[in-house]
Structure 1
């Protein structure tokens, strides 16, 4: 120990300084040398150190779950809106060097994808239900075909009308599912041609009011509207309908022959030769020099005739390709025609009466 007023004297062993030994925990054991004496070592004394203040619960860090401990993701309602549920380590992060890893989607995107999937399945189920309903109605109609006659439903006329429907038509029931779209398109084509003829009648009337010398064209427009509307339905639409309904080669041949002639008439209607009763392009250009309003009406009619002609040619080619794929032939059509003629009760009755009359005349002859 240094004397007061003199220079400080350091001890030979600084670790033997009593002040240092008292400040370190376990100083009694540090000063014991087992090689100097055989006395037992002094007991270890735990330094009296004040315990640290307790950490509040809010400030404690979250405990990390062990790899083997199951995670509790909680319920869907307990999650914060806009946050994805916790996943495995590295989920949603990119790998080393910026390589993409597992990317997590937000709840909104997941819900939208799930909703789209449910809507898709619902549409598929609806289609299957409609198909089953159609087949069930087909079976019911087939079962009741021999005992109950189907009531005609076309044209759809009110009950108080003295004229009753002439045909039975139900595309979802009678036409196979693969051809329903084609038959529906042909039905719309017939309706479009009817509307075009009615517009042609109005434009011909307007042109007759402007040019009184075009009375013949106006009269023919009335004739075409009254003649083509029912004849086109009976002569080419109904054979096409029955051909797809019963896969009849004979009806297909009738449809091709008549509808080809109908397409030729569509082209002539679009051309618009004067005094033929068609407000086509030629007559529209002539009316353009006389009256602009009438010319505009005729141009609209010409566009309608052109659209009907183009669609008719397209559908004729499409139906012909469908017919070729079914394996039908002209020989099959002849066989169907012969079977249909001989199976007709009226034809058989007429043939029997003719044969009986011929036999009677032969016996009466001297």
Structure 2
């Protein structure tokens, strides 16, 4: 009786490198052009990095020179969500002057609020069919916000910070003179408006329109009740 070969018999060792080749000693050829490109890009990056460092050093030297000359570098930091001006009362204004500066800043914000409200109101009137001229002039008045900042608030801020006589003088000229001239004109306009109202009301009462209006109101009330 014939038996099959032993399945557990050791098989002949098979040498995977019997063909004479060895993976350990194999090499990968890298094109010379690619290596040159990599070195070129590396040099370009190093040159850009060196240029950035040089510029940073130049800016730092300029800032140090300005600081040594007494020039304050103003970085934009207000409002926090969209910095457009430099404003730091707590750290730059002397403590005994901070309250005064805060009040002045409040008046600037109040002016800005009034101008914004004026634009919104005239816009609503224009949408409802009003005169476009009023809306246009509200935009012109809106320019008073940056004008007020540059003409009197910033000079006052710098005067409080550095005790500068020139900035104090500019503040008094733009705020005390121009502001009170504008306030005087508005006061004159208010007086004239009050006079017009009084004259119209006097005519209204003297012509019997007031009594007629009362009768008309009473008649309307009776009709509504019936």
Q: Could you tell me the TM-score, scaled by structure 2's length?
A: 0.47
Higher helix share: 2
- Please identify the structure whose Cα radius of gyration is greater: 1
